[in-house]
Amino acid sequence: MRVLVTGGAGFIGSHLCEYLIEQGHEVICLDNLSTGRISNVAAIRHHPRFQLIVADIREEDLLSELIRQVDHVYHLAAAVGVRLIMEKPVETLEVNTFGTEIVLKHASKFHKKVLIASTSEVYGDHNEFPLREDSTRVYGPTTVRRWAYAASKALDEFLALAYHQERGTPVVIVRLFNIVGPRQTGRYGMVVPTFVKQALMGQSITVFGDGQQTRCFGYVTDAVEALVRLMEHPKSEGEVFNLGSDEEIRIIDLAHLVKEKTGSASPIVFIPYDKAYGPGYEDMHRRVPDLTKVRTWIGYRPRLNIHQILDHIVEYYRQNPWD
Ligand code: UDP
């Protein structure tokens, strides 16, 4: 099969491209290298079934032509990471909404199946757990910038479902929950690579707020395998799935665990949110997915727990300290 992966040189995208190549597919990777990196696809760069195109998803003619040529589209290109959103809200909104609109329009025109990578952020600051695909969304006001990301991804979901319902476009939506692994960069604020690098370099480990907030961290190779199975499931059209892990950990405990795994002497320090992100930031206190649906549909089981995940990531950054 021929597939297009938008955002294919990003963290998750590059693992997805590798997995698709391994599965025997022909892969076109489209990336504007804004947060993606050529080094992410170094292992497959010269593979005969892999092609890298450096361009923006908002280049509509190119997108249209690429979608015409392929069987499936994995749409991962997006502005991601809390820091990026806080720093560049206009670009976040534009890429996340116009980009998806173009992908859906042409997927619809050529009737190609498209998987929209969405995010757990769409649930907002919920206080009922675990989060089910049909849970309501709880957002702060539009004057608080962090909600722009959640709103832009929710709009993508509405649009994808509208295309499906009104025009029969084959779409599947997957909400990713804190996916981590090798090649994820800490530059845009993600906590796991940040803590691991701080610990390995002997710098202070920066816990934002009081560290009592929790997250569930899923491993990237578990996630990409599931993305492909959801895409290839004959009945997944028009469906929304949570994907990740449901093993919950407090951020303060994550900091201690990273310290232990790295054998680091780094101190753990607490940074107030307004110092970390600028004024007016609201963090999610908890985030736990209900994975019943993805388990039932494709028998999904995360293979690695948080200890094994951190072992892999620590090992990766020991080998690639510059990454
Ligand atoms: N976080 C932290 N220190 C850091 C980076 C992040 O304590 O250096 C916290 C952040 O405030 C949040 C959690 O870790 O509560 C996860 O942050 P991340 O940006 O990885 O993901 P998200 O907030 O999107 O879940």
**Would you state the structure tokens that stand for residue 211, as one six-digit string?**
């560290």
The reply to whether ligand 1 has any atom less than 6 angstroms from the CB of 206 is yes
Ligand 1 centre distance from Cα of residue 217 (Å):
11
Give the integer Cα–Cα distance in Å for 255 and 299.
32
Ligand 1 centre distance from Cα of residue 281 (Å):
12
The reply to whether ligand 1 has any atom less than 6 angstroms from the CB of 190 is yes
Centre a 10 Å sphere on the Cβ of residue 20 and count the other Cβ atoms it contains.
26
The domains of the chain are located at 2-181+218-245+288-304
Ligand 1 centre distance from Cα of residue 191 (Å):
5
Index of the ligand 1 atom closest to the CA of residue 207: 7
Ligand 1 centre distance from Cα of residue 176 (Å):
15
How far CA 318 is from CA of 102, 199, 315, 323, in Å, comes to 40, 11, 5, 10
Give the model confidence (pLDDT) of 241-300 as tens digits.
Answer: 999 999 999 999 999 999 999 999 999 999 999 898 887 778 889 999 999 999 999 999
Give the model confidence (pLDDT) of 8-46 as tens digits.
Answer: 999 999 999 999 999 999 999 999 999 899 999 999 999
The reply to whether ligand 1 has any atom less than 6 angstroms from the CB of 170 is no
Name the residue at shortest CA distance from atom 1 of ligand 1.
Answer: 191
The reply to whether ligand 1 has any atom less than 6 angstroms from the CB of 203 is no
Q: Which fold has domain 2-181+218-245+288-304?
A: Rossmann fold (3.40.50)
For residues 66-73, average pLDDT = 98
Ligand 1 centre distance from Cα of residue 194 (Å):
9
The reply to whether ligand 1 has any atom less than 6 angstroms from the CB of 191 is yes
Probe ligand 1: pick from 131, 177, 185, 208, max atoms within 8 Å of CB?
A: 208
The reply to whether ligand 1 has any atom less than 6 angstroms from the CB of 208 is yes
Give the integer Cα–Cα distance in Å for 246 and 232.
24
Name the residue at shortest CA distance from atom 3 of ligand 1.
Answer: 207
The reply to whether ligand 1 has any atom less than 6 angstroms from the CB of 196 is no
Name the residue at shortest CA distance from atom 25 of ligand 1.
Answer: 178
Ligand 1 centre distance from Cα of residue 188 (Å):
10
Tell me the percentage of the chain whose pLDDT exceeds 70.
99
Residue 280: per-residue pLDDT: 74
The answer to pTM > 0.95 is yes
Name the residue at shortest CA distance from atom 5 of ligand 1.
Answer: 191
Report whether pLDDT(82) > 70.
no
Give the model confidence (pLDDT) of 181-202 as tens digits.
Answer: 999 988 878 999 999 999 999 9
Name the residue at shortest CA distance from atom 21 of ligand 1.
Answer: 190
Out of 84-93, 168-177, 210-219, which region has the weakest mean confidence (pLDDT)? 84-93
